[in-house]
């Protein structure tokens, strides 16, 4: 197993380069959904052409603009993006029992569990490492995110998974400076006041002075604003 060798001062390019060097292409992938993730794709493309893997979680509840964005990124970089769908039976059972908007009543955990986490767990079962766009300044739950960590939420007793967060030390301005400088594609919803973009019913535009993830699950407490993809941020691990 590769060691956790990255220094705190590493740049995003160095973190991505190290990650892609240490793991075979079919054992590591970039998790794609937001602006940060396209920066990661852009960095990877500059390093290794299109010899890297990308997946995204299609919950079935994304904005039309997000679906358009996924396809635009695929064409821009001439890459394959593996679009993971949730289990039909589980979604149908949830909707049959609780309707299409149960998360407004009893929280997002169950719906995210079915529409996102189960798909992610299935995908990570095929990988040894994944690369995410988490940044420390995104929310109170992410202030300690390192450049590299063992993913304690998805590793098992027999299968350790490493998570790379190359943009951990960047702030939002760094991301958008990069996007503008390198003409990186982005979701047009950002031009309509959305900052952090998730599913349509669980994301809303925010004011300039609000925290970046204030528009996500706005009816819930700030400390609950992880969908389970980065559940370890909520623990002391
Ligand atoms: S963000 Fe909302 S709609 Fe999307 S999976 Fe979570 S609870 Fe369901």
Question: What pLDDT score does 44 carry?
Answer: 98
Higher pLDDT, 236 or 138: 138
Report the separation in Å between the CA atom of 45 and the middle of ligand 1, taken as the mean of its atom positions. 30
* DSSP code, position 26: G
What band does 103 get if pLDDT is binned at 50, 70 and 90? Answer: very high
Determine the residue of 56, 61, 217, 228 to mutate for testing ligand 1's pocket, defined as the one with the most ligand atoms within 8 A of the Cβ atom.
61
Mean pLDDT of the chain: 91
List, for residues 153-175, the tens digit of each pLDDT value.
999 999 999 999 999 999 999 99
The set of catalytic residues is 227
Q: Are the C-beta atoms of residues 86 and 110 closer than 8 Å to each other?
A: no
Q: Give the neighbor-by-neighbor strand order of the sheet with 162-164.
A: 82-84, 54-57, 28-31, 129-131, 162-164, 148-150
Q: Are the C-beta atoms of residues 51 and 17 closer than 8 Å to each other?
A: no
Q: Could you tell me which of 11, 14, 53, 50 has the C-alpha nearest to residue 30? A: 53
Quick count: other Cβ atoms within 10 Å of Cβ 47?
14
Beta carbon of 199 within 6 Å of any ligand 1 atom: yes
Residue ID of nearest Cα to ligand 1 atom 6: 112
Domains and CATH numbers, the chain: 12-188 (3.40.50.620)
Report the separation in Å between the CA atom of 225 and the middle of ligand 1, taken as the mean of its atom positions. 11
Q: Which of 6-15, 67-76, 107-116 has the lowest mean pLDDT?
A: 6-15
> Which numbered atom of ligand 1 lies nearest the CA of 198?
1
Quick count: other Cβ atoms within 10 Å of Cβ 27?
14
Q: How far is CA 97 from CA 85, 93, 143, 199, in A?
A: 20, 6, 37, 20
List, for residues 126-139, the tens digit of each pLDDT value.
999 999 999 998 77
List, for residues 108-126, the tens digit of each pLDDT value.
999 999 999 999 999 999 9
> Which numbered atom of ligand 1 lies nearest the CA of 116?
5
Residue 64 scores a pLDDT above 70:
yes
């Amino acid at each position: 197993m590769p060691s956790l060798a990255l220094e705190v001062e590493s740049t995003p390019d160095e973190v991505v380069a190290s990650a892609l060097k240490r793991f075979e292409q079919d054992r590591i992938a970039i998790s794609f959904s937001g602006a940060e993730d396209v920066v990661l794709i852009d960095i990877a493309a500059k390093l290794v052409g299109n010899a890297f893997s990308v997946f995204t979680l299609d919950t079935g509840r994304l904005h039309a603009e997000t679906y358009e964005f996924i396809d635009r990124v695929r064409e821009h970089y001439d890459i394959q993006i593996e679009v993971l769908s949730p289990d039909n039976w589980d979604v149908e059972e949830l909707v049959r029992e609780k309707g299409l908007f149960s998360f407004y009543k009893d929280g997002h955990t169950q719906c995210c569990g079915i529409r996102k986490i189960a798909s992610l767990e299935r995908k990570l079962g095929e990988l040894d490492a994944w690369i995410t766009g988490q940044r420390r300044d995104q929310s109170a739950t992410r202030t300690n995110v390192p450049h590299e960590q063992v993913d304690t939420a998805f590793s098992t007793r027999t299968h350790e998974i490493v998570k790379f967060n190359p943009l951990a030390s960047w702030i939002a301005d760094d991301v958008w400076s990069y996007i503008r400088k390198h003409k990186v594609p982005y979701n047009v919803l950002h031009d309509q006041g959305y900052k952090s973009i998730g599913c349509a019913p669980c994301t809303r535009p925010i004011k300039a002075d609000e925290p970046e993830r204030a528009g996500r699950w706005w009816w819930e407490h700030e400390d609950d604003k992880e969908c389970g993809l980065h559940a370890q941020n909520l623990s002391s691990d």
